[in-house]
Each structure stands twice: as C-alpha cells, then as structure tokens.
Amino acid sequence: MYLVLIGWFYVALMMAIAEATSSDGTLLGAFFTLALYGILPITIVGYILGTPARRKSREKAESLDIDQKNNHDSKVD
C-alpha cells in the first residue's frame, strides 16, 4: 500500500518540478500541481486504505477494555 502511495507522490513531485522549471510554467502552477495531483489524492487514498487497520485497532481496544472490566468485576466479588 505504502509503495504505491510513495510512487504516486514521486510522480506528482516530478510533475511539479517540470512545471516549475518549464519556460511556460510558474511556481504557483507547480504548487497546485503538487497539491491537487499529489497531496490531496494521497491523503484520500491513504485514509480509505487505512480504514481496516483503524477498525481492527478500535475493536482490539474495545475487547481489552471489556476484558479489563470483567476482570475487575470478578476480583471485586
């Protein structure tokens, strides 16, 4: 997953550099190229692809919390 995102960022960075160094390009155009072709899609895709890991982590934390509560309740009795 991360390899694809890194590759995508590399390509977007090279596009921005080409835009900045082109005779017709501008630094503002390079900034928007990097932001709209690089950073924005990477954050969206990274968030979507990270959803299962976040869900699994949340379920694990909830199960540990329930186990700790059950252990505490059994020790009190």
Q: What is the pLDDT of residues 2-56, one digit of tens each?
A: 899 999 999 999 999 999 999 999 999 999 999 999 999 999 999 999 999 999 9
Element (H, E) at 24: none
CA proximity to 12, closest of 54, 56, 51, 43: 43
pLDDT computed for residue 76 by the predictor: 58
Residue 67 has pLDDT above 90, yes or no: no
pLDDT computed for residue 12 by the predictor: 96
Helices 40-49, 51-76: inter-axial angle, 10-degree rounding: 40
Residue 77 has pLDDT above 60, yes or no: no
Provide the token pair at 72: 């505490």
Single-letter residue type at 15: M
